[in-house]
Structure 1
Amino acid sequence: MRNIKDIKAEVNTITYDKDKIEEKVGSIYEAIVIMGKRAEQINSEIRTELHNKLDEFAVRDTSLEEVFENREQIEISKYYEKLPKPTSIAIKEWLDGEIYFRKTDK
């Protein structure tokens, strides 16, 4: 699987072809559930990575009066804010055939 930050997913809202989305599973609802679960995984990965990077620059010995802005933390946060949303990344992966899924027996 590719690095999430390397995926060129849409940053803005666009309209997708419903038939392309549902062709792999036959139902738009199943496709949305699969993409939604993948978006949750992506969001979790991004959140963990962001928190780990921010912790590297965290100042441990500050009182409430000594709170100041850390330039590195601000730059990292801005970078992650500019990334495509997890849902957009999941849709891109789905349309590119990069999501593996399996149906469970009922």
Structure 2
Amino acid sequence: MSTDFKNVVADASTKTYNRAEIQKPTGNIYEAIVIMGKRAEQLNSEIKTELLDKLDEFASNNDTLEEIFENREQIEVSKFYERLPKPTSIAVQEWKDGEIYFRKPEEEK
């Protein structure tokens, strides 16, 4: 499940959520938190990989004095990723929107 981070709509700051709304899909607040936590870890990994791939485009093998000075495009890429909502906020929004698929293996038996 790949996410288009340019079109992500999630809160950029901390927010209080209705517990009943969060636990509704599982019936258990702790299971809901674990599922959102695992999704947040996936998102964090995707963001990190995407950022490193984009920053690798600016890497050079030989460091001359001119190349050491900051690259304007590199700064813009870094600022974009700094402004993104946190992976936990994205995961909570996906959970609320019903976009996270989860299953309970013990119930499938």
CA deviation after TM superposition for structure 1 residue 72, in Å: 1.4
For residues 40-79 of structure 1, what are the alpha-carbon distances to aligned partners after superposition, in whole Å with 9 as ceiling and x for unaligned?
0011111111001011111221169x63212211110011
> Do residues 39 (structure 1) and 34 (structure 2) align?
no
Determine the structure 2 residue equivalent to 1:55: 56
Q: 5+ residue gaps in structure 2?
A: none
Determine the structure 2 residue equivalent to 1:19: 20
Q: How does 1:90-105 map to 2 (within 5 A)?
A: 90-105=91-106
Q: Secondary structure of 1:105's match?
A: helix
The answer (yes or no) to whether the contact 1:9–1:88 under 8 Å persists in 2 is yes
When the two chains are superposed, the root-mean-square deviation of aligned CA atoms in Å is 2.1
Q: Which amino acid in 2 is paired with 1:3?
A: D
Q: 5+ residue gaps in structure 1?
A: none
CA deviation after TM superposition for structure 1 residue 4, in Å: 3.2
User: TM-score when scaled to structure 2?
Assistant: 0.88
User: TM-score when scaled to structure 1?
Assistant: 0.90
The answer (yes or no) to whether the contact 1:4–1:42 under 8 Å persists in 2 is no
CA distance in structure 1 between the aligned counterparts of 2:103 and 2:5, rounded to whole angstroms = 22
The answer (yes or no) to whether the contact 2:5–2:84 under 8 Å persists in 1 is no
* Structure 1 segments of 4+ aligned residues over 4 angstroms from their partners: none
CA distance in structure 1 between the aligned counterparts of 2:105 and 2:99, rounded to whole angstroms = 19
CA deviation after TM superposition for structure 1 residue 3, in Å: 2.1
